[in-house]
């Protein structure tokens, strides 16, 4: 087998598609834990209109199967080295593509997890258009006022009625001035819960069509670190071809670049897959990695 792709969301499927079309033998592993699985639709993805995450990934699976890609519904917990290759789930492969992605650490506020992906979202570029010109709340991340302010300023481009709830964090005069210029209102009270808006500790409620939150992102898997790849600030370090610091191991999508949108993750994966194919071809012809 030429390549094991570990992770079956948009980045993993796109890498497998590009490699399959290059007539490479590809084995793709997917544990069904796509980061966006809670969302009702995938937005801002060219050509994917009103499609759910499950539908998009199911179409991707059907597509890669046409090029001989084998898909296993299995979470890979370990990859071992063998000679000049690797063993993944008992199968020897020449290269490994990590598409394990991220998970989002949500604010510790009651109601956020229950509404996640529906009434509670994170990315304005993914969900802002659908609630444009409506009352919106940006819930800050306690202890990270800079990030909270930046997200509220960004969200102000979609609506003139944005309220930043800092959940107890105080803001500087400069931050308040910038929010004022952008038309963002500020509430600094502690937030008791999220439900059709927010409810403050004092009992007052603030209605909103959506609550946007700031999240902390973490790698879903520690495979990269256990393989010896360099990981910095929560991202696997790669070059322009997705090559990690371990020869034969590549990383794609948000595994390597956490800020990518879904379509950006797919595009990055396609570029890296081209590099994987080129590296394998060089090896086929007697070169090295």
What DSSP line would sit under 63-131, residue for residue? HHHTTT-EEE------EEEETTEEEETTEEESEEEE---EEEE--S-TTHHHHBTTTEE--HHHHTGGG
Q: What's the DSSP call for residue 243?
A: B
> Do 53 and 116 sit in the same domain of this protein?
no
> Do 118 and 206 sit in the same domain of this protein?
yes
On whether residue 280 sits in a domain, the answer given is yes
Judge if pTM exceeds 0.85.
yes
φ/ψ region of 242 (left if φ > 0, alpha if ψ in -120 to 50, else beta) reads: left
> Do 206 and 113 sit in the same domain of this protein?
yes
Residue 48 has what pLDDT? 86
SS3 content of the chain, % helix, strand, coil (to 5): 30, 25, 45
Token duo for residue 20: 């399959």
Contact 188, 164 (CB under 8 A): no
> Do 154 and 28 sit in the same domain of this protein?
no
> Do 75 and 145 sit in the same domain of this protein?
no
On whether residue 289 sits in a domain, the answer given is no
> Do 70 and 92 sit in the same domain of this protein?
yes
Contact 155, 128 (CB under 8 A): yes
Domain of 125, CATH number, reads 3.50.50.60
On whether residue 203 sits in a domain, the answer given is yes
Residue 286 has what pLDDT? 86
Burial class (CB in 10 A: 0-12, 13-18, 19+), 60: buried
Q: Which of 213, 243, 275 is the last residue of a domain?
A: 213
What is the mean pLDDT, run by run of 10 residues, along the chain of 289 residues?
97 98 98 85 88 94 98 95 92 98 94 95 95 98 96 98 97 98 97 96 95 95 96 95 98 97 97 98 80
> Do 60 and 150 sit in the same domain of this protein?
no
> Do 40 and 98 sit in the same domain of this protein?
yes
Token duo for residue 198: 């927010």
On whether residue 15 sits in a domain, the answer given is yes
> Do 45 and 98 sit in the same domain of this protein?
yes
> Do 99 and 117 sit in the same domain of this protein?
no
Q: Which of 176, 191, 213 is the last residue of a domain?
A: 213
Burial class (CB in 10 A: 0-12, 13-18, 19+), 33: middle
Q: What domain range is 165 assigned to?
A: 107-213
Residue 288 has what pLDDT? 52
Q: Hunting for tokens 């102000």 — which residue is that?
A: 156
> Do 64 and 154 sit in the same domain of this protein?
no
Q: Which of 162, 194, 213 is the last residue of a domain?
A: 213
- In angstroms, the CA 81 to CA 42 distance is 37
Give bridge partners of residue 211 from the DSSP assignment.
120, 137
Task: Identify which of 286, 263, 274 has the alpha carbon closest to the alpha carbon of residue 9.
Answer: 263
Residue 41 has what pLDDT? 87
On whether residue 156 sits in a domain, the answer given is yes
Q: Is 184 in a helix, a strand, or coil? A: coil
Task: Identify which of 266, 260, 256 has the alpha carbon closest to the alpha carbon of residue 235.
Answer: 256
- In angstroms, the CA 58 to CA 210 distance is 28
The count of structural domains within the chain is 2
- Cβ neighbors of 87 (< 8 A, separation 6 or more) are 79, 80, 81, 93
Max distance between CA atoms of the chain, in angstroms, equals: 71
On whether residue 44 sits in a domain, the answer given is yes
> Do 89 and 121 sit in the same domain of this protein?
no
On whether residue 237 sits in a domain, the answer given is yes
């Amino acid at each position: 087998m030429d390549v094991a792709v570990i992770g079956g969301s948009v980045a993993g499927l796109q890498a497998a598609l590009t490699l399959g079309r290059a007539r490479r033998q590809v084995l793709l592993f997917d544990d069904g834990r796509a980061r966006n699985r809670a969302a009702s639709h995938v937005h801002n993805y060219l050509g994917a209109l009103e499609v759910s995450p499950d539908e998009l990934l199911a179409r991707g699976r059907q597509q890669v199967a046409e090029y001989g890609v084998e898909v296993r519904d299995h979470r890979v917990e370990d990859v071992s080295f063998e000679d000049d290759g690797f063993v993944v789930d008992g199968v020897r492969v020449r290269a490994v593509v990590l598409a394990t992605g991220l998970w989002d650490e949500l604010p510790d506020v009651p109601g956020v997890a229950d509404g996640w992906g529906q009434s509670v979202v994170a990315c304005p570029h993914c969900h802002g258009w659908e609630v444009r010109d409506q009352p919106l709340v940006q819930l800050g991340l306690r202890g990270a006022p800079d990030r909270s302010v930046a997200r509220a300023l960004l969200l102000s481009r979609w609506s003139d009625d944005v309220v930043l709830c800092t959940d107890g964090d105080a803001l500087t005069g400069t931050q308040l001035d910038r929010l004022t210029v952008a038309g963002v209102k500020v509430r600094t009270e502690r937030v008791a819960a999220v439900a059709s808006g927010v409810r403050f500790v004092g009992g007052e409620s603030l209605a909103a069509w959506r609550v946007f939150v700031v999240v902390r992102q973490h790698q879903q898997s520690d495979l990269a670190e256990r393989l010896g790849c360099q990981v910095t600030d929560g991202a696997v370090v790669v070059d322009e071809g997705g090559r990690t610091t371990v020869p034969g191991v590549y990383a794609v999508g948000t595994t390597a670049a956490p800020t990518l949108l879904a379509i950006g993750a797919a595009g990055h994966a396609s570029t890296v897959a081209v590099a994987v194919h080129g590296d394998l071809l060089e090896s086929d012809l007697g070169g090295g990695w």
